Amino acid sequence: MNNQIMSNIKVSPVGFIVIFLLVGALVLYFERTWSDSGNNESEAVKRGQTISLRDILSASIELAERGGEQVKEVMKEKKLNEQSKGKTKEGVNNPVTDGDMRSHEAIMHGFQVTFPETLLVVSEEHEEKDWDRSKVKPADLKRPDVNEVIQKDERVPIEDVTIWIDPLDATKEYTEELLHYVTVMVCVAVNGKPTIGVIHKPFAKEDEGDSSMSWAWVGKGHSTNLNTPVKKATAETDPKIIVSRSHAGSVKEVAQQSFGKDTEVIPAGGAGFKTLALFQGKADAYIHTTLIKKWDICAGNALLHEFSGTMTTLKGDIINYDGHGSPDHNPKNEGGLLATLWDAEIYRGKLAAVLNEGHHR
């Protein structure tokens, strides 16, 4: 009887379709569940990875030198292929050259090959073309000049690190062949704090005592050429103020209203050059009154911090260099800049009195 009942049961074509769809849905559900589980596990492993800051320092120095070689080579070839990225707020042309781009590629590709882990590296320049990883040599992570100074390493979570690159600082001056202003900079920020700074001067005349490489790891050590100069002035007695060539007039006005009409104001190109001028005793403070990008200032900020100096906004706010959590990595510092090895509070107070009155433009 049961066999007879079973033989009389028929499944319609519609029933077959429904069963097929149900089975397919179950398969997709379980595949997605397993896939998500695997991705979550992979992400957890990524979050758990740490990286050596001493290794990053060694790589940063070598890759800055590689970038500098490209900057020099393009200048030697006399084929800058200059183009404009627009104008700054001061109405000054903001150029980009093959020197910028080839330096960017040397540094960015070097980081990507040296550290296969997912490091966040933010550069002033961008590229879209394909490149051959097999042609890029990993950077040396055991440089003697680093290991002689840095005795103890430190490892930090990868997701805490942001690397800022300025492949060619002072591009405008580069196009004008004012090459002493040109620098290549790499900065390593950890949890938003400038921790390692590298400033390379590819056109330095070392036979005249001009060092090509300056670096520092805050609290750990620095290159032998970096020292605090003899203090010759304070903010109250004729300080020398170094400012940007692109809008020296407005900053000169602010400086002379703040510190006295006889205050010496030194126009110069490149944020890297201006920061190094503080260490060389050529200037007592570096002041910038308009927007400036973080790849311009992060390396110098680290160097100053290693020597208990300061680099803040004009109001004294700490500048955060964490590039995570923002589609464009938040590269803008819109609060102006005050950088000095000493007397920061005095400088800031004198500047505030003028800026609050709205005299600067």
Rounded Cα distance between 185 and 197, Å, is: 8
Torsion sign over Cα 104, 333, 312, 153 = negative
97 among known catalytic residues: no
Report whether 331 contacts 293 (CB < 8 A). yes
55 among known catalytic residues: no
* Count of beta carbons in the 10 Å neighbourhood of residue 16: 10
97, 114, 162, 171: which is the annotated catalytic residue? 171
Per-residue three-class SS string for the chain: CHHHHHHHCCCCHHHHHHHHHHHHHHHHHHHHHHHHHHHHHHHHHHHHCEEEHHHHHHHHHHHHHHHHHHHHHHHHHCCCCCEEEEECCCCCEEEECHHHHHHHHHHHHHHHHHCCCCCEEEECCCCCCCCCHHHCCCCCCCCHHHHCCCCCCCEEEHHHEEEEEEEEECHHHHHCCCHHHCEEEEEEEECCEEEEEEEECCCCCHHHCCCCEEEEECCCEECCCCCCCCCCCCCCCCCEEEEEHHHHHHHHHHHHHHHCCCCEEEEECCHHHHHHHHHCCCCCEEEECCCEEHHHHHHHHHHHHHCCCEEECCCCCCCCCCCCCCCCCCCEECCCEEEECCCHHHHHHHHHHHHCCCCCC
Rounded Cα distance between 235 and 195, Å, is: 27
98, 100, 322, 343: which is the annotated catalytic residue? 100
Nearest to 91 by CA among 322, 272, 247: 247
Rounded Cα distance between 31 and 24, Å, is: 11
Q: Phi, psi (5° rounding) for residue 52?
A: -80, 125
Q: Active-site residue numbers? A: 100, 171
